[in-house]
Structure formats: structure tokens, C-alpha cells
Structure 1
Amino acid sequence: MSMTDMRAPNTSSAQTNSAPQSVRRESPRVPRRGRTWLLVSAVVLVCAAVAGNAWLFTAAHADEPMLRLARDVGWGQRIGPSDVTTVDLPASAREFAIPESARATVYGQVAARPLQAGALLGDADVSAQTVPGPGEQVVGIRLEPGRIPARGLHPNDLVAVVPVTEQSSVDTGGAVSGGGEFRARVVQSSPPDADGAVTVDVLIESSVQTKASAAAAGGALVIVLGPQQ
């Protein structure tokens, strides 16, 4: 054996010993008790969500008694116990109908417009303001045949009342006077009498009382006006 062979280092063994050893790492494991707790919590949350949704659905669709008109109520008339009844509707009907639990608050109020039997009673249908209100008066005017529209007059109609003087009626066969016209709102009207005339109660402002008195004393004709802009 030569000296060269004896001095040659064992490089393969050194390289093998100096090479870094791979370390095997394992992900941390969740204890079984912790995993069970998470599973139970998830199940409880799901059950609670389902129960909550079911309750909301039932509450929204459960029937509740709502107020309905038992008979016709004219505009400005007070509402009493005999005027309303109830009908079972989903609770969502509260958006447009008064619930039976608020019945007592309706009694004593007046109809804000003509109300028909069978219709639901809503908040917009009633008012605490009586007719006539402050600064208003109700005047009855007798109208001869031909001085009202063929359609008749209905409560809450906005009308123009044109007085007819006795002189103009004689000279022109019922021509109207040149002035004294005023606006009013129909409260109610009577059936035609033996002569075919109709008496109409109209709501006026106190400022036109003189004109209204002249129309009531001497007669008038009535023109139904359209919606105001």
C-alpha cells in the first residue's frame, strides 16, 4: 500500500455525516374534547338559526284581527262601536289597517272621507278634527232641480256655489248673479223633496259666511270642481 493511499481522507463518509438531516414535522392535533365542543356549538347555532327563522315566519303570517267597517260612515261623522267589526288578516296587514287592539282609539274620531261598509279601516280614514272645525261653518242650501249635476253630490265633493238672485231668476229664467261665488265642500245632501229640490249641507270658511247666507236665502247652483293642483 502506498503512502498516498494511506493519507487519502474518507470524503464520502464526511459528506454523509455533515449533510443536514430532514426533520419530520407534524401539524398540531386538536384534542378530541375540543373537536367535540366545536361540533356541538355548530349544531346549536344551526338549530337556533332555524328556530329563529321559523318564529319570524310564523309571527309575520299569523292571523290577527283587524278593523273593518260594519256599515257606511259619512265624511265628518263620528265613529262608534256599531260602525266597526273585525276580520282576521296576517299581521303584515298592519301597514294599511288598524288592529283590533287599537279599537278604543278609533271611537270618537270622525271619518276623514266617506267610508263604505266592508272596507278595512286605516289610519288615514279617521281624524280627530270634527266637522266643522275651527274657523269653519256648515250651511244648508236648497237647490232647485237642474242646479246640481246629474251625478248628484257626494260627501267631500269640492264645489263652487254660485248664488242666484231672485231678480236674475225672474228676468233670465235662472241666470246666475255676477258675484258672490264661493267654494265649499259637501257634507251631506238630502233626498229630493216633493218639488224635486235637494238640500245640501256645505262646509265653508267663516270668511264667506255672508255669501253663503245669501245663497241659502235666495238659492244657488252648484258646480263640482276637479282635484286641486
Structure 2
Amino acid sequence: MLLDHQPTKADITPPASPRPDAVQLRARRSPRLIALGILSVVLGALGAGALYSMNTHNADVVVMTRDVVRGDRIQASDLAVVSVPAGLTMETSSSAKMGEMVGQTARSDLPAGSFPVARHLGEDPIPEGRSLIGIRLTPGRLPTADLPPGTLVQLISLAENDDSVTDAVVASSPILLDDGSGHLLDVTVADAAAPSVATLAATDLLVLIAVGEG
């Protein structure tokens, strides 16, 4: 017996369209990463603002135009004015003080491009009829108080059978040695006393005391 085969109905449901390559599923964003991103943007903006402020707020300061060695008198041609960032941490002198510097004597070497300040300059440390002597004094042989240039002092001999006292004037403030073993300073004395003071200083036989004026 022949079976009556009836054709089945074709499936007319359209196939699912593939997702275009450009369409991606949205990933979940980490709140921590979002916070870090915002913080980076804020810090970047602050840094840019600080840099802009430093570059736009300048100060006019005095600079050396050539090398000047210690003891030389400052000439107007030795100085110039330059503009530097106002936030510069290096010690400088305002351009308004440049006129005061002309005619003063360099207390230390001032290379071209350096910024001179008040402690680098002063009156001529070697007046007429006087000699400049560098001495080293161990702790206990000079006052602990400040001894700025111009301080009147006396140098007392510790040599045997020598109780001489020499009047002197501080030319440069005492500087503590790196090892703490003593202080170095310059003083001026009368030309006649210079040889004996130099000898006593070389043999570590001096004591310095500060005295008042008059």
C-alpha cells in the first residue's frame, strides 16, 4: 500500500542577523578607575596652572655680567638686571638695590651669571695703613655671639712671656669648619702689628674677645 506523502511546509522564519562588527557590548566600568582618571585630570590641571603662574609672574633681580674677584670694587658695568620666576628659591637682590651695590667691595669671588646679595659686598676690607689677616680659632677662643664685619675685637697672645694685646676689626664673619674643629675669620690690624699677629695665628696662640666702641 502506497503511503500518501505530503510535502512539509518550508520554514519561512528569517535567520537571525549577525551583530555588526562595530557593535560591541558595553563593558562595566570600574568606579575605582573612573576616580583615578578624574584625579589625574585634576592634578594635571593644577600642575599646568602652577607652571603657567611661575612663567607669568617674574621678578627683576641683579646679576653679575663678568667675573669679579674678592677685593675688587663693583662697577656699574659689572651688574645687570634680569627677569626670573618669582618663585625662584635662590637668594637674590631686587633690581632696586643695584645702585647701592656700585662702589662696594666684593667680599667673595662673584662669577659672571651669579646673583650678588648684601653679604657678598661691603666696604673695602683693607683700609689704608692696615693689613688683612686670616686666623683660625678653636672653640672657646672666640665669643659664640655673632661677629659681623666691622666688629671691634682684641687679639690676646697666649705665647710664653708675651701678654700683648692687639686691636683688630672683623673683616669677615667667622665660618665654622666642616669638622667643627674651629672657626676661620679675617681681621684687619695695623700694619706694624701684622707680622706678630700672623705668627701667633699660625701657632694657634691667639684668643679673640669682642670690645665695645669708645
Q: If the length of structure 2 is used for normalisation, what is the TM-score?
A: 0.45
Q: If the length of structure 1 is used for normalisation, what is the TM-score?
A: 0.43
Which structure would you say has the larger Rg? Answer: 1
